[in-house]
Structure 1
Amino acid sequence: MATKTYDHLFKLLLIGDSAVGKTCLLFRFSEDAFNNTFISTIGIDFKIRVVDLDGKRVKLQIWDTAGQERFRTITTAYYRGAMGILLVYDITSERSFENIKNWMRNIEDHASADVEKMIIGNKCDKNAERQVSKERGEALAIEYGVKFMETSAKDAINVEEAFYTLARDIMAKAEKKLESQHAAGKAGHQLRAQEPPKKSMSWLQRCTLL
């Protein structure tokens, strides 16, 4: 039987419009490579990378979803069980930024209520073609109460930081949940220990109740 080589397994999801660079981000993080000739993802694809996170080995299973409308019914099934979601837009595409609100609605409809989320403004190397300011990206993230980062898969800017930040937030939430469960279990045990022992009725007492 193979021994487990990691402490935690986190399932992450990349969502956003087609051609915002989700697959490029995934390959930069998993393979440290960049290829700008990727064809659009058909349905869903995934990569795995094991990282060291504050002394723990964490296996990241990262799912790359298709942005096209015709694949939407396939990809929504993968929202369930996702522990972290990166919502990606292209800083040179106003439309992809506006659609982040639609992707957020998809998360609300299909993902777990406590899923960790992060908004990513990709292709920040294309500053001359920028249509969405960094301030607008930050404001949208504040509106949703999530973290925000601008990245470039091409120039390897903030790609590692984005995935590591999301993974750390998932781990912090998981540990906090574990602590509260432990505390609740401990409190329940103490409560049971404080309860006076039930006295057993004598044969005579039981007869008087009949």
Structure 2
Amino acid sequence: MASPAWHYVLKFIITGDAAVGKSSLLVRLTDQRFLANPDPTLGVEFGSKLITLPGPEATIVKLQCWDTAGTESFRSITRSYYRGAAGCLLVYDVTSRRSFDSVRTWLADVRAHADAHVSCILVGNKVDLVSGGEGQEPRERAVPTEVAEQFAKEEGLLFTEASARSGEGVEEAFVRAAQEVLGKVREGRFDDERSPGVKLSKPGAVPTETPKAPCCAT
């Protein structure tokens, strides 16, 4: 019997205010490129990626990532995609205090609708804007790293900062969240057969990369 191409399929969601770079983070992960001028997400978009988690025995996971719209008009649609999610990226823009302040509301939504054991990582995106570079004028940082770290600690979240433009910290964010999910799987907190956000691979599965495509646009 053929061995599985991956060991687990994990459902992830990416959420946060509009224009914080959620779509750009997903494209950086799946296509290794920067989405300079993305169109606003209408409803939900999807992408997938195979990643290998380090450890004594390398574990291959397939991340199925749902990039959700950050506007209130799509909130009822995006909430339906939270259901059963095992992992979540809560994204804000380090140059926008408002986007950081909104994280608390997004987190409440995730905890109300995703799996009870969902692993969340708080991601401060657009760190490249603070330092400038590539012809950009530096912007003032609105959210100190220490403030975000403290919030993450208080809420039991993982935390990192990233740049979808440069790729800094992007894969690390997904890897750290996936590692925490698998830790919970091994502790028995997720049920392989009943948790929709965690699926054990079946032998003979063929790895495919699903292109990012619009879903539920209205």
What residue identity is the alignment partner of 1:14? I
Q: 2:211 — aligned with what?
A: none
Structure 1 residues 97 and 177: alpha-carbon distance in aligned structure 2, compared to 1, 3 A threshold: same
Partner of 2:22: 22
**1:199 maps to what in 2?**
none
Question: SS of 2:154's equivalent?
Answer: helix
Taking the aligned partners of 2:142 and 2:190, their CA distance within structure 1 comes to 44
Q: In the alignment, is the contact (CA less than 8 A) between 2:69 and 2:78 conserved in 1?
A: yes
2:183, 2:21 → 1: CA distance? 28
- Pair 1:167-2:178 in alignment: yes
The structure, 1 or 2, with the larger RCO (C-alpha pairs under 8 Å, 6+ apart) is 2
For residues 23-38 of structure 1, what are the structure 2 equivalents within 5 Å?
23-38=23-38
Shift of 1:179: 11
Q: For residue 206 of structure 2, what is the aligned residue in structure 1? A: none
Q: Which moved more, 1:123-132 or 1:77-86?
A: 123-132
Query: C-alpha separation between the residues in 1 aligned to 2:95 and 2:22?
Result: 14
Contact 2:30 2:49 in 1 (8 A): yes
Taking the aligned partners of 1:4 and 1:56, their CA distance within structure 2 comes to 11
Looking at structure 2, the residues matched to 180 and 77 of structure 1 have their Cα atoms a distance apart, in angstroms, of 21
Q: Which runs of 5+ in 2 are unaligned?
A: 131-138, 193-218
Q: Write the distance in 2 (CA, Å) between the matches of 1:111 and 1:12.
A: 10
- Partner residue, 2:213: none
Residue 63 of structure 1 pairs with residue 66 of structure 2: yes
Aligned AA for 1:56? Answer: T
Shift of 1:3: 7.7
- What residue is the counterpart of 2:47 in the other structure? 47
1:114 to 97, 117, 127: 117
What corresponds to 1:176 in structure 2? 187
Q: What secondary structure, in the 3-state scheme, does the structure 2 residue paired with 1:143 have?
A: helix
Q: Equivalents in 2 of 1:4, 1:50: separation in Å?
A: 13
- In structure 1, the gaps of 5 or more residues are 182-210
Between the aligned partners of 1:72 and 1:20, the Cα distance in structure 2 is 16
TM-aligned CA deviation for residue 112 of structure 1: 1.8
Where 1:29 maps in the other structure, the secondary structure is helix
CA RMSD of aligned residues (A): 2.0
- What is the CA–CA distance in structure 2 between the aligned matches of 1:25 and 1:9, rounded to whole Å? 19
Q: Deviations over 1:155-182 (max 9, x none)?
A: 111111111111111111101117999x
SS in 1 for 2:19: coil
Amino acid in structure 2 at the alignment position of 1:16: G
Give the TM-score normalised by the residue count of structure 2: 0.78
Could you tell me how far apart the structure 1 residues matched to 2:157 and 2:95 are?
22
TM-score normalised over the length of structure 1: 0.81
Tell me the matched-pair count.
Answer: 180
Partner of 2:8: 8
Q: Which moved more, 1:86-95 or 1:171-180?
A: 171-180
- Select the structure of larger CA radius of gyration: 1
